[in-house]
Amino acid sequence: MKIAFYTLGCKVNQYESEALRERFLELGWESVEAEDTADVYVVNTCTVTGMSDRKSRQYIRRMKRQNPDCITAVIGCYAQVSPEEAAAVEGVDLVLGTAEKADLPQYIDRVLEERKAVQKAGPEAQNGLLPAESAPRQELGGAPRPPVLVAVSPRNSLRKYRENGEITAMEDRTRAFIKIQEGCDRFCTYCVIPFARGPVRSRDPESVLREAQKLLAQGYKEFVLAGINTALYGTEEEFWEEYGTLTDGTPFLKEGEERTTVSGLELLLYKLSQLPGEFRIRLSSLEPTVVNKDEALRLLAYPKLCHHLHLSLQSGSDSVLKAMNRRYNMEEYRSIVSALRQQDPGYGISTDIIVGFPGETAEDFRDSCKAADDVLFVKSHVFPYSRRKGTAAADFPDQIPPQTKKARAAELSAQGQKVAEAFCRSCLGTVRQVLWERGETVDGRTYCTGYADNYIKVYLPCSEEEAKALENTFADVLLLETFREGVLGRIQ
């Protein structure tokens, strides 16, 4: 049988879809693209904004139009937070929550068996499956169809990290995501993700190592350690009881050494750094709600770690940060950036910024614009605030009109591009490590492109043959001049 995945949202979702896809391949299924005809479509959803919810519903309907007789399974954050709503979308057969998606193959088998039984027995067959209250009874080719199967565990029951499977490949042949952590307990007032992903659960470091070794064997040169709140990896007490000892029997933390928030990450980075081979490690994000400058600096001790952090700002206004429950102010945020750039002036910082948060004044917005100029982000993701049901901010007064949010997002996004160019200019004349990824044609000329360790995109003029030969190799590159969204470089 054929199965297709359509994935919305973050790096964690991308990882989970690939892990599940490989599980089905091991079971003898054929994997096809989401645009192709499949027997089963899996929509891995996102719910971080209202637009994410709408896109999730749109793609569910699209899958059904491609093959009306298919099974459509809905997993991911939208399924966890709004299972009844997901089940009510026409064409849905299966809705699985955060914990249950690890058992997707078994649930698909159950739906297939139930469908056969219902069609064989006729309209009255139910076989014990209970529909979601709002899910309509559906028809398949004129025959009765089983009700939607919904399996979603409550947030507080999600206590143990569950493996979706280990991956051996990703679409990008140079860079692979490795999920290390699940859940978040920060409860920023705008964010629905703690409700969608549950409390913090950290992955067994030995499982991470096994997966990294498989990916190294496949030729991958960069690992992106991904999680819902990566900085919280290993912060659970039971993590240290189970994993705090090295293979030689000695504790990772020396006698008298105090455990910090990043000790779990340090343990994992230490273990990964012991693996043989030429590779580098990138953190998908590090939350300033979790770490301070001293903890961020500790990570510089690991030479395989890229000099780039995604450090979510969310707002440049202290009053807005407080209303968001972000647990830091701009002075503390700047201190992290300053400490990193004192060690490496070209240290890359990317970020997320929300505009139009309830009560955000024109002055607050200007503070965010000023912060972007001051920090010199290598990349900025700007989002208009999205009111999410169940979050504290959804009930805040002074909600900002949509047209104001849209205008502010457009202005700051445009500024973000100029800021990124300014950061690139600040790095000209320096040498950075680049991992070459692929050849690209720009205005009829061939370039080999890749990313420096600080996340600047680098273009190297070359022939198609040279670009092919350079793919998935490292080089020290002199950054010469700004070009498109990155810089031109020359191998040293």
Closest C-alpha among 38, 26, 70 to residue 164 = 26
pLDDT above 80 (res 125): no
pLDDT above 90 (res 140): no
Q: Average pLDDT, stretch 195-214? A: 96
Task: Determine whether domain 154-306 maps to CATH 3.30.360.10.
Answer: no
- Residues near 243 by Cβ (< 8 Å), separated by ≥ 6? 204, 205, 206, 234, 267
Residue keyed to tokens 């972007």: 372
How far, rounded to the nearest angstrom, does the alpha carbon of residue 451 sit from its chain's CA centroid? 19
Q: How many CB atoms lie within 10 A of CB 344?
A: 14
Q: Are 326 and 333 in contact (CB under 8 A)?
A: no
pLDDT band at 118 (very low <50, low <70, confident <90, very high): confident
Domain boundaries, the chain: 2-153, 154-306, 431-491
Q: Are 152 and 100 in contact (CB under 8 A)?
A: yes
pTM exceeding the 0.85 threshold for the entire prediction: yes
Q: What is the pLDDT of residues 155-196, one digit of tens each?
A: 888 888 998 888 888 877 899 999 999 999 999 999 999 999
Distances from the Cα of 440 to the Cα of 128, 443, 448, 461, 483, angstroms: 55, 10, 6, 10, 13
Structural fold of domain 2-153: Rossmann fold (3.40.50)
Distances from the Cα of 298 to the Cα of 1, 141, 293, 302, 313, angstroms: 49, 61, 9, 8, 20
Predicted local confidence at residue 66, as pLDDT: 87
Give the strand pairing for 457-461 and 348-355: unpaired
Q: What is the pLDDT of residues 310-340, one digit of tens each?
A: 999 999 999 999 999 999 999 999 999 999 9
What does the mean pLDDT of the chain come to? 93
- Phi, psi of 279, rounded to the nearest 5 degrees: -160, 170
